[in-house]
Structure 1
Amino acid sequence: MEASATEHSVGEPPKIPMEPPPPARKSAIEMSADELVAKSIVPVKKEFMCPAPSRLTSDNNGSSGDAVPASTTASAPVSKEKKSKRQLKRERNQEKQSTRNLCPMVAKTGKTDSCPYNDKCRFSHDIEAFKAQKPADIEGNCPFEGDEGPCPYGLGCRFLGTHKTDDVATGTPNVLKNSEINGLKKDVQKLLWKNKMKFPKADANLKVLGLMGPTKSKKTPGVKNEEENQNVSNVSHVTNENNCSEKGTDPIIQNECSLEASENSSDINGADDPRPPKRGKPLTDQTCEVIGEINGSSFEVIDLDTSGKLESLPTVDQIETDKSLKLHPREKKLIDFRDKLYLAPLTTVGNLPFRRVCKILGADITCGEMAMCTNLLQGQAAEWALLRRHVSEDLFGVQICGAFPDTVAKAAELIEQECTVDFIDINMGCPIDLVVNKGAGSALLSKPMRMKNVIQAVSSTVDIPITIKARTSYYEGRSRIDSVIADIAEWGASAVTIHGRSRQQRYTKQPDWDYVYECTKKAPRNLQVLGNGDICSFSDWMTHKSACPELSSCMIARGALVKPWIFTEIKEQRDWDISSGERLDIFRDYVRFGLQHWGSDTKGVETTRHFLLEWLSYTYRYVPYGLLEVIPQKLNWRPPAYFGRDDLETLMASESAADWIKISEMLLGKVPDGFTFSPKHKSNAFDKAENG
């Protein structure tokens, strides 16, 4: 008897009926605008959508619509040999002595005998060998052209062909160097290197607050009375000799030493046994304002009369007896943030050239990149470079980050003494593991008492307004910022910016603006509250301002990286359908500012290129308004593959680093052989984008 079709032979497994295959996933070009928005994809008009998965990028065989230069194609990863610090130092010294690195003095003057070090100079003096291997000049004019005096980079400038014939011969200084301030002085840096910098105001206030840290060791008899060297990075217990500190040419009166006693510091005891203060001598012939500091408290700045003399300068004893002259936090000079456009401090990309671009486009307030207090107190030049300010930044602040009150207070005192800033912002929201694991950044949100101590220590030390930037909490729903919002003003801060995400969220999910509004309404009237989170258009700004009139302003962060002309849109109350040519002009301005900041020699050109590429890794996310089906674009929407209205707009829409390099070559010439680029910020979107 034959088996039926549904039966199976003995020993054979039963046949399982086949399930129908799952429906094929729709591509972006097949989705409706609502479906694209639901999946957080930018709804681009169908006529501009590209069916290919990428734009202008090379495939595995290297073929594409536009050929990618061989120098920019990705190569197979090669494991680098580990080298010792001594070997790396030796290679750096050899590189300096190569013909690629001409002595700056020789390059500026064009004369081999102009260097004061002669044969002992660590740079090359061979002008002909340098010219033989120097890369070709870049098209365009020297960024220092039109200023009084020659280009400060002389023969090393990559725009040498545009220099005047007598530029190198004159060797006069260039006036453009005065457009940037807040540089670190060499004598101050040496004191920081040797841990001999004094912080009288910070030490006095930390002692009053009981935050001086561990007791200092006793001195050995017969040994010079100085503080022992300690590591600044370990809670920054810097020396506390009671000498006068000096800010520029401004004389400072202090309670623990007079101006005459400043040279005899060996006779002055430590902070635990202060020397009785001497009576301050009346200063009669001064050309600057005088600031008095007594036990960490400051009195009002005294203006000069028309004769150039001080009318009534109080003596030290008189100031000591009048405790009411101590400035209360509410009496400090305040900054009105209301309705001002505030560019957030942005790591890596928020450098000085980028801030200059944003100032041109309408930003009112700018803030430097986050600087670590321990690095500032160690005198690291790279960290101090983050505090530099351009003269166009009329309202400028610096952001510092630290884990302990003494570290942050001493860094703040040093900044007030050496820099010209309008406010100091304390970072309490950075989510990076490297920062959080040291107890700084958003880690302070889980420790309200330390948060209080940091704010109080800094506020009582400096007369500059103090602001705070924080997140909603460290963990979602725990130790939230609204529980201390009413106390922040009493601790000494004049403004607080709240990013509507917790540290745990990082940049995922939508920011909780309702919670920001709630905190704003709980804040006292003397505390200005600013909101932050995914502002990418004029309508976003107006929505948050109208939803909570008590909100002073909104800080703009990643939205300014994607489209820096957002400041123009907000001020003009319109959505700007900017063209690709106008965007290229913005990049061209950035390159010019970058060359003025980092230099027009080969090193400066490549540094400018690097930061331009970092910025381009954000700007490709912008989709022009003329291509959108739904306006405006949200910051968390991912751009699909699309064609622009012209070739340049299509190139700017590419997510490939090879195409970003092409844009940089349009402005800075060809990249060096073997050049590759990978964005500093890592995400899934960039893993496949590296160099095509």
Structure 2
Amino acid sequence: MTIAEKRPLDETEGAGTVDKKQNAAPYVKGMAAIKPEYLAPVAARESPVVEDYNDDEAEGGDREQQEEPKNGRRGPKGKKNRGQNKNRDLRQKKDTVKLCVSMIDPDDSETGCVAGGAEHCKFSHDLQEFLNAKSEDIDGVCPVFEALGYCPTGMKCRWLKSHFNRETNKLVKDLEKLAIAKKENFEVNKIDRDSKIALQRKKFSFDISAPVIEYLESKIQKDDDPHRETRKENEAAFVEQPYKIAEKKKIDLRGAKIVSPLTTVGNLPYRRLMKSLGADVTYSEMALSKPLMEGHQPEWALPKAHISEYPGFGVQIASSRHWAAAKASEALYKTCPYISELNLNCGCPIDLLFKQGQGSALLDQPPRLVRIVKAMNASSGDIPVTIKIRTGVKENKNTAVNLVERVLSETQVAAITLHGRSRQQRYTKEADWEYIGQVGKVVQAWNDKRDEDKDGRDTNPIWFVGNGDVYSHVDWYNGTNTEGVDSVMVARGALIKPWIFEEVEAQQYLDKSSSERLAMLEKFAKFAIEHWGSDEYGVGNARRFMCEFLSFTHRYIPVGILERLPPKLNERPPKWIGRNDLETLLASSDYKDWIKITEMFLGKANDEFRFVPKHKSSAYENDRDEK
């Protein structure tokens, strides 16, 4: 049953000067209905350039690689070239004068020059030279110092004057705040140096996964036999597995407010923001199992989390081989103690992973998927394993029911999440919640059977989560009230409207003001600086990821200017004018305006700052304006 609205929406001041009758736009399917007084003048709405969204980036992000059309702006068969901008140069500026680490905090006697002094060091020991070449300090208080009472970036901090005593030439430290921060505000799941080196040198002890891999490889031929149900010799050849699956941590997803695994934008600062806005469960960006087991630093940055995310933090991995998944699971279990679940990605639609047999490619290879889940379960210690799938690979050919039945009968998963679209469909049509309900009933029947079994009553239930097009509390409650669905996972809805779980809690639409939305962006900026650092490089990274975040948040249309509710994720708005200048700015699709917004919190962007939006249409519009 859909939750009814608790109160009428408050009326807010209009744009004031627009004639409603002359400016009213006719209803167009797929177009958001904006109140006439907020529509831009007709001439502006007739611009030939229409913003287009490529939402595959939410799941594929920087790993996505598509072929570029060879001729002009149109690809094969006359299709518009509206994908992502490839080969984006996102390198950020580094310090002109590179300061030796021993000089970052000259008062820290524990940090010495590894080269043995200025005479042998390739980095500068001349503090005044560094300060003279350093960019002008940003006004305000350093977000890291404000949060921790000490800024580890020290002399390299872009807010240096807020925590540097020029009379004593010493950094300021609030030891009392620092002691509290060490208990309450810190990041976890940082792999230790020795373990990372052991992985890189192939000396890490995979004592848990070794027998698991050996056993599963001995069973591959039997498992892949299409007549495995009728072959009696399989029973005669049965060999008991030489390992035991550890007792798993319990997770409870009934009614949980869940943020989907997201690539690029689903970084630690964003997830931390979502936790502060009511999320119960968050997931890391998708990590690839093979680079994990090989100790690649960029991949091991992904399982890092803020302490506020645990419990309720899941690490998502992608794999096409059971041995790689087993080793990655064991490495994560041994080095990252703050993980609530390991989630196997069986739904990522991007071509690169699909061709490698990862992501949604597993939907058409049930034996391989089952092997990978078994390998992860047996190698992950007490960390439970969950999976995220799609309805199938091809449109109008749903396979999730059969796949889920096989997973339930042959493996031990703690939860199954179903995105109500096929890989082929991507985001072109609305999610199929009717089919999500059908799969939910399969899981529900399995749980009911477990409850009837005396031996099964003590085991944990298998949670079933629906995913797709959840953009309001109405969508969320419609999903959770679907029979067999325990909760709903939110992806793009949480990117465009980060306060969505506040609406779920309030059971009504929240017409957030532009100043309230700006305050959320400020909080993200502070979290980003805490995570990436307050030096030149860290500020550049924070600005880049804030722009990535704004590439979604600018799509939000305030409920106070909509003619009808509920809002829909796939509806595109005509050009509109906000209730004040800030609201109009926050709705801009021009990435140069996104950079302006970042400058409110991160100081003026330097001339070398690089950011190119992923959406080709956005880039085309702005490039055209510059000609």
Tell me the TM-score normalized by structure 2.
Answer: 0.77
Q: Within 5 Å, which residues of 2 pair with 1:335-346?
A: 335-346=251-262
Q: Within 5 Å, which residues of 2 pair with 1:353-432?
A: 353-394=269-310, 395-420=312-337, 421-432=339-350
C-alpha deviation, 1:499, in angstroms:
0.4
Query: SS of the residue aligned with 1:355?
Result: helix
Query: SS of the residue aligned with 2:302?
Result: helix
Distance 1:638 1:540 in 2: 18
* Residues 149 and 167 in structure 1, CA contact (< 8 A), matched pair in contact too: no
Q: 2:209 aligns with which of 198, 202, 205?
A: 202
Q: 2:358 aligns with which of 440, 449, 464?
A: 440
Q: Within 5 Å, which residues of 2 pair with 1:69-218?
A: 99-109=96-106, 114-117=112-115, 118=117, 119-146=119-146, 150-165=150-165, 168=170, 176=181, 179-210=186-217
Distance 2:278 2:623 in 1: 33
2:553 is equivalent to residue 629 of structure 1: no
Structure 1 partner of 2:469: 534
Distance 1:198 1:674, change over 3 A: closer
Distance 2:598 2:44 in 1: 20
Query: SS of the residue aligned with 1:677?
Result: coil
* Structure 1 counterpart of 2:286, one-letter code: M
C-alpha deviation, 1:626, in angstroms:
0.8
* Structure 1 counterpart of 2:214, one-letter code: K
2:575 is equivalent to residue 658 of structure 1: no
* Residues 475 and 502 in structure 1, CA contact (< 8 A), matched pair in contact too: yes
Query: SS of the residue aligned with 2:170?
Result: helix
**Runs of at least 5 residues in structure 1 that lack an aligned partner in the other structure:** 1-26, 60-91, 215-293, 298-325
Deviations along 1:215-273, one digit per CA (max 9) or x if unpaired, are: xxxxxxxxxxxxxxxxxxxxxxxxxxxxxxxxxxxxxxxxxxxxxxxxxxxxxxxxxxx
Q: Within 5 Å, which residues of 2 pair with 1:242-253?
A: none
Distance 1:410 1:572, change over 3 A: same
* Structure 2 counterpart of 1:296, one-letter code: Y
Distance 2:135 2:295 in 1: 34
2:266 is equivalent to residue 296 of structure 1: no
Structure 1 partner of 2:13: none
C-alpha deviation, 1:514, in angstroms:
0.8
C-alpha deviation, 1:444, in angstroms:
0.6
Query: SS of the residue aligned with 1:412?
Result: helix
Query: SS of the residue aligned with 1:188?
Result: helix
Query: SS of the residue aligned with 2:145?
Result: coil
* Residues 155 and 168 in structure 1, CA contact (< 8 A), matched pair in contact too: no
* Residues 460 and 492 in structure 1, CA contact (< 8 A), matched pair in contact too: no
Distance 1:665 1:487, change over 3 A: same
* Residues 163 and 172 in structure 2, CA contact (< 8 A), matched pair in contact too: no
Distance 1:428 1:28, change over 3 A: farther
Distance 1:52 1:114, change over 3 A: farther
* Residues 658 and 690 in structure 1, CA contact (< 8 A), matched pair in contact too: no
Distance 2:485 2:470 in 1: 14
Distance 1:464 1:29 in 2: 58
The alignment yields a C-alpha RMSD, in angstroms, of 2.8
Structure with max Cα Rg: 1
C-alpha deviation, 1:346, in angstroms:
0.6
Distance 1:642 1:403, change over 3 A: same
* Residues 656 and 691 in structure 1, CA contact (< 8 A), matched pair in contact too: no
C-alpha deviation, 1:116, in angstroms:
3.4
Distance 1:429 1:399, change over 3 A: same
**Runs of at least 5 residues in structure 2 that lack an aligned partner in the other structure:** 1-20, 50-90, 222-240, 448-460
Distance 1:554 1:349 in 2: 20
Distance 2:148 2:392 in 1: 52
Q: 2:575 aligns with which of 633, 641, 650?
A: 641
Distance 2:597 2:219 in 1: 53
Query: SS of the residue aligned with 2:283?
Result: strand
* Structure 2 counterpart of 1:115, one-letter code: C
Distance 1:167 1:598 in 2: 25
Distance 1:167 1:356 in 2: 34
Structure 2 partner of 1:50: 40
Distance 1:518 1:657 in 2: 42
Structure 2 partner of 1:301: none
Distance 2:398 2:563 in 1: 41
Distance 1:683 1:425, change over 3 A: farther
* Structure 2 counterpart of 1:168, one-letter code: K
Distance 1:169 1:338, change over 3 A: closer
Distance 1:677 1:54 in 2: 26
* Structure 2 counterpart of 1:425, one-letter code: N
Structure 2 partner of 1:688: 621
Structure 1 partner of 2:370: 452
C-alpha deviation, 1:356, in angstroms:
0.9
C-alpha deviation, 1:389, in angstroms:
1.3
Distance 1:122 1:488, change over 3 A: farther
Distance 1:138 1:52 in 2: 41
Mean alpha-carbon deviation: is it higher for 337-346 or for 519-528? 519-528
Q: Within 5 Å, which residues of 2 pair with 1:212-291?
A: none
* Structure 1 counterpart of 2:501, one-letter code: F
C-alpha deviation, 1:342, in angstroms:
0.4
* Residues 138 and 669 in structure 1, CA contact (< 8 A), matched pair in contact too: yes
Distance 1:456 1:425 in 2: 13
Structure 1 partner of 2:440: 520
C-alpha deviation, 1:47, in angstroms:
0.7
* Residues 374 and 407 in structure 1, CA contact (< 8 A), matched pair in contact too: yes
* Residues 424 and 464 in structure 1, CA contact (< 8 A), matched pair in contact too: yes
Q: Within 5 Å, which residues of 2 pair with 1:305-344?
A: 327=246, 332-344=248-260
Query: SS of the residue aligned with 1:470?
Result: strand
Distance 1:595 1:190 in 2: 28
Q: 1:472 aligns with which of 391, 396, 411?
A: 391
C-alpha deviation, 1:418, in angstroms:
0.5
Structure 1 partner of 2:512: 578
C-alpha deviation, 1:106, in angstroms:
0.5
Q: Within 5 Å, which residues of 2 pair with 1:669-688?
A: 669-680=603-614, 682=615, 684-688=617-621
C-alpha deviation, 1:104, in angstroms:
2.8
* Residues 441 and 483 in structure 2, CA contact (< 8 A), matched pair in contact too: no
Distance 1:604 1:425, change over 3 A: same
* Residues 678 and 690 in structure 1, CA contact (< 8 A), matched pair in contact too: no
Structure 2 partner of 1:315: none
* Residues 154 and 167 in structure 1, CA contact (< 8 A), matched pair in contact too: no
* Structure 2 counterpart of 1:31, one-letter code: A
2:563 is equivalent to residue 565 of structure 1: no
Identity of aligned residues (%): 40
Distance 2:613 2:114 in 1: 41
* Structure 2 counterpart of 1:649, one-letter code: E
Distance 1:398 1:415, change over 3 A: same
* Structure 2 counterpart of 1:156, one-letter code: K
Structure 2 partner of 1:606: 540
* Structure 1 counterpart of 2:466, one-letter code: G
Query: SS of the residue aligned with 2:474?
Result: helix
2:406 is equivalent to residue 481 of structure 1: no
C-alpha deviation, 1:402, in angstroms:
0.7
* Residues 212 and 406 in structure 1, CA contact (< 8 A), matched pair in contact too: no
Distance 1:571 1:484, change over 3 A: same
Distance 1:454 1:160 in 2: 49
Distance 1:179 1:589 in 2: 16
Distance 1:557 1:587 in 2: 18
C-alpha deviation, 1:333, in angstroms:
3.0
